[in-house]
Amino acid sequence: MPQKTTRTLRPDAAGIAAAADILRAGGLAAFPTETVYGLGADARNGAAVAAIYEAKGRPSFNPLIVHVASAVIARRYGLWSDLAERLAAPFWPGPLTLVLPLRDGHGLSSLVTAGLGTVAIRVPEHPVAQALLAAFDGPVAAPSANPSGRISPTTAAHVLDGLSGRIDAVIDGGPCPVGLESTIVGLGGDAPTLLRAGGLPSEAIEAALGHALTQPREGAITAPGQLGSHYAPAAHVRLGATAAGEGELLLGFGPMDCDLNLSPAGDLTEAAANLFDHLHRLDARGRPIAVAAIPDHGLGRAINDRLRRAAAPR
Ligand code: TXA
Ligand code: MG
């Protein structure tokens, strides 16, 4: 991956405007929230979101949290409910993420949601995060701003230690006051579920709800990215194909004759941005899917991880 010059920006109007410009241009800007530093990109721009995974060296496409300035804006992306209101009213802005059913016409990249029918949304309280969201005026996808497998950053120096040369900028807003990732509550099912323990104690959430949260399946809190909630096509998927077999649809990569191509130019960032959209589109045609070989380096490793799950026997 080509080296970038990573700028350290001050948390003043000029620094925030510069970070918003970076996001508008499809770049990556890290910023402080009250929990941990986030690595932000425009959540509507598939290539920008793919670049997050590339910078972090994430070996798989976990869905990301979409950061917005207010609960009113959150409703553009997630289906609102009485339950969502009961949690958003007391705890937003703050260290709480709500997983909501996706709303029609949301406009988010399918890579942000990893092709799921739900979206994780958070309204951060940190004044620098709020100022960036106001200046950018759009949804910001942001995982913690650390290389995959390393601990979450709570200072700009931590961010630079891990990601200098891989991102465009970090806004230095000092240490994060909470220092723990947000608590994630799933509202997609019958009962609110604690998907990840975090900076907002679950007791506070239970007090607001007036009842206990449903606990997730075994192991889900320690490995929240492996929730098994990834989109899986209904169709049979065959990997490493060089041509479509009888009745199959071919998902290509690089110059080739196929039904849909992840990236005719053989670009892994473009392929990542297209992955879930293309799988959905082929799946909707109700025929088995053959997928061309994808190089197993950089973002290709995350693409192949996702494809192996899609092809696993169910
Ligand atoms: O405090 C935080 O939440 C920080 C700051 C930057 O906001 N962000 C953060 O993001 O911790 P990340 O990507 O490191 O963790 C996001 C978690 C992942 O474990 C992912 O599995 C879960 O959120 N997640 C995202 N979308 C989901 C969805 N639709 N359903 C279930 N889990 C989801
Ligand atoms: Mg993280």
From atom 12 of ligand 1, which residue's Cα is the shortest distance away?
Answer: 143
Structural domain includes residue 2: no
Q: Return the pLDDT at 98.
A: 98
Q: How far apart are CA 309 and CA 291, in angstroms?
A: 13
Tens-place pLDDT, residues 90-142: 999 999 999 999 999 999 999 999 999 999 999 999 999 999 999 999 999 99
Ligand 1 binding residues, C-beta < 6 A: 33, 35-36, 38, 62-65, 97, 99, 113, 116, 118-120, 122, 142-144, 181-182, 184, 195-196, 224-225, 227, 229
Q: For 34-38, 230-234, 294-298, which range has the lowest pLDDT when averaged over its residues?
A: 230-234
What is the structure's pLDDT at 231? 67
CA distance 247 to 242: 15
Q: 187-234 pLDDT, tens per residue? A: 987 789 999 888 898 889 999 999 999 876 554 433 344 444 456 788
- At 217 the pLDDT is 57
As a whole number of angstroms, the distance between CA 108 and CA 139 comes to 8
Return the CATH number at 286. Answer: 3.40.50.11030
Are residue 51 and residue 148 in the same domain, yes or no? Answer: yes
pLDDT at 221: 39
What pLDDT band is residue 163 in, cutting at 50, 70 and 90? very high
Dist. CA 224 → ligand 1 center (Å): 8
Task: Pick the range with the lowest mean pLDDT from 120-129, 240-249, 275-284.
Answer: 275-284
Tell me the CA–centroid distance for residue 183 and ligand 1, in Å: 9
Residue 209 lies in a domain: yes
The answer to whether the annotation marks 193 as part of a ligand binding site is: no
What's the gap in Å between 143 CA and the centre of ligand 2? Answer: 6
Q: What residues form DSSP beta bridges with 289? A: 237, 249
45 and 154 housed in the same domain: yes
Note whether residue 281 is domain-resident: yes
**Which whole number is the average pLDDT over 278-290?**
93
What pLDDT, on a 0 to 100 scale, did the predictor assign at position 274?
A: 86
Which of 226, 245, 274 is where one domain is finished?
Answer: 226
**pLDDT score of 66:** 98
- Domain ends where: 226, 248, 273? 226
Q: Would you say 113 is a known binding-site residue?
A: no
What local confidence, expressed as pLDDT, does residue 225 receive?
Answer: 43
- Residue 220's pLDDT is 43
Q: Are 271 and 263 in contact (CB under 8 A)?
A: yes
Quote the distance between the C-alpha of residue 194 and its chain's center. 18
Between 61 and 2, name the one with better pLDDT.
61
Q: Is 81 annotated as a binding residue?
A: no
User: Which pLDDT belongs to residue 232?
Assistant: 76
Pairwise pLDDT comparison (308 vs 32), residue with the higher score: 32
- Can you tell me whether residue 208 is helix, strand or coil? helix
Which residue's CA is the closest to the ligand 1 atom numbered 18?
225
Q: Which ligand is nearest to the CA of 223?
A: 1
CATH number, position 55: 3.90.870.10
* Mean per-residue pLDDT of the chain: 91
pLDDT band at 37 (very low <50, low <70, confident <90, very high): very high
Mutate to test the pocket of ligand 1, among 58, 64, 109, 305 (most ligand atoms within 8 A of CB): 64
Asked whether residue 130 is domain-assigned, the answer is yes
Are 119 and 257 contained in the same domain?
no
**Spatial CA neighbour of 187 closest among 102, 114, 112:** 102
Q: How far is the CA of 52 from the centre of ligand 2 (A)?
A: 12
In this structure, is residue 62 part of a structural domain? Answer: yes
Q: Evaluate if residue 149 carries a pLDDT over 90.
A: no
* For the chain, percent of residues with pLDDT exceeding 70: 94
pLDDT of residue 305: 83
Q: Looking at ligand 1, which residue's alpha carbon is closest to its atom 21? A: 225
What Å distances lie between residue 50 and 61, 82, 138, 179, 185, CA to CA? 9, 34, 18, 26, 25
Within this chain, do residues 215 and 253 fall inside the same structural domain, yes or no? Answer: no
Listed in sequence order, the residues at least 6 apart from 159 whose beta carbon sits closer than 8 Å to its beta carbon are 30, 37, 39, 145, 146, 153, 167, 170
Nearest CA to ligand 1 atom 5: 38
Question: What mean pLDDT is predicted for residues 2-6?
Answer: 89
* 1 has pLDDT over 80: no
Give per-residue pLDDT as tens, 46-80.
Answer: 999 999 999 999 878 889 999 999 999 999 999 99
Domain carrying residue 130: 7-226
Query: What spacing in Å lies between the alpha carbon of 241 and ligand 1's midpoint?
Result: 33
